[in-house]
Structure 1
């Protein structure tokens, strides 16, 4: 009579070990992924708050300098050490809608008077100087008005003057509302580059205004 075949318990144990090893590997991977996510958050969040953040243009008020859906990187650090200048393009908090951000160009600086007559902009601070604005290529607005800026106030206008809702409507913004300025355009691909919108300023742009 042939004796019954006994199960090989050693083989059974051997087969179980890989299952346990796989489980341990999965647990290890999850812990590492969680650790990586935490480290990334610790690095990225402060950068977005204090250094730079992405910005998607969702308006046409800066045409032709920026088009709708242009993708920018906005740096937030430099204005902690220097004052914004005339001609700078900045991203700032909307004075009318909480949580909304806008992108415009700085036209008037603190202490100045901005005079707009039939779409032509002049700056007064002792003497009056008419601004040379080659970045305005669309039909200018017929708007006229005078605005005197207090300390820490900036007068903002879109390059698409006829299609921009800006300081002409809601007045100057406070420096505390400035978020930063675009340092690079990543999209659209035809206009990728650094300091977008600054290359259109005439070399004597700041000299065309009084040196106070």
Structure 2
């Protein structure tokens, strides 16, 4: 009897039926994907900021490099998905990175002290919000001789309920003169720019100042060495970039050093214990 069984040609494997991608093509695709993800992250999620001044000592040292969360405060006006994402409003005490109202190509780092619609008044080393004193732990401090980016504590005046420290130089005045007879500096324009900018603190000093809606009153923790809302007024909401997360690098270069000396000082003057320090 004849064998009627037929044999079929085995199917080619998937590997042989599809052309192999070259290693070069795979490498290029990986690089492009990485760049797209990095660009997305830098644009919408995180940002790197260097702090060149000591206005936020000792919460942040001058010479710190910060990773900033641009996502936490959401976007001005809100988005349909805001209710399902980890956004939250800006709160008093938040340290924020924002575009300087006088020059938007500069980024500033300060602490939010006054919220929209509140009335702030600063009497010496004490801050009043809507007539009630804001609890802050006041510290008398001086520059560290071994590290110009931080302060050494000399005296401390704790306050019940205080959630952050503020620093003053020895001999700093506790009270400013009454300024009721001085004309009030111009308030911010709708565009967020300001008409008047003085070299001495003016907003809220010695008399109440009402913070406009959609704006925040921001001050540095190092109160005697901070150019902040006392000088140029409140920060518009749409100028806020985000909140610093942690320190990813830090060093104390000499301000008069050359570029090569600054790069070399990264290793000789690196603050390795600052790496990973949370900003709060």
- Scaled by the length of structure 2, the TM-score of the pair is 0.55
- Residue aligned with 1:99, SS: strand
Match of 1:67 among 53, 61, 68: 61
Aligned residues: 167
- 8 Å CA contact 2:49–2:65 kept in 1: the answer is yes
Deviation string 1:115-170 (CA, Å, 9 cap, x unpaired) is 0012311100xxx2111222112335646243211211100000111110000011
Q: Which runs of 5+ in 1 are unaligned?
A: 1-26, 199-212
Structure 1 residues 194 and 78: CA distance shift in structure 2, 3 A: farther
- Residue aligned with 2:43, SS: helix
Deviation string 1:74-128 (CA, Å, 9 cap, x unpaired) is 101111132100000000001011311000000000110110012311100xxx2
Match of 2:52 among 53, 58, 79: 58
- Residue aligned with 1:87, SS: coil
Distance 1:64 1:151 in 2: 30
Q: Which runs of 5+ in 2 are unaligned?
A: 1-21, 75-86, 138-164, 177-200, 251-271
Q: Are 1:129 and 2:129 matched, yes or no? A: no
Distance 1:104 1:39 in 2: 35
Distance 1:41 1:147 in 2: 47
User: RMSD of aligned C-alpha atoms?
Assistant: 2.0
- Scaled by the length of structure 1, the TM-score of the pair is 0.72
- Residue aligned with 1:106, SS: strand
Map of 2:223 onto structure 1? 161
Offset, 1:182: 0.9
Distance 2:278 2:237 in 1: 20
Offset, 1:193: 4.2
Map of 1:23 onto structure 2? none
Q: Superposition pairs for residues 83-94 of structure 1, below 5 Å? A: 83-94=89-100
Distance 1:34 1:57 in 2: 35
Deviation string 1:5-46 (CA, Å, 9 cap, x unpaired) is xxxxxxxxxxxxxxxxxxxxxx953x5544333212210111
Distance 1:99 1:64 in 2: 25
Q: Are 1:41 and 2:71 matched, yes or no? A: no
Distance 2:211 2:46 in 1: 28
Larger Rg: 1
Distance 2:105 2:67 in 1: 19
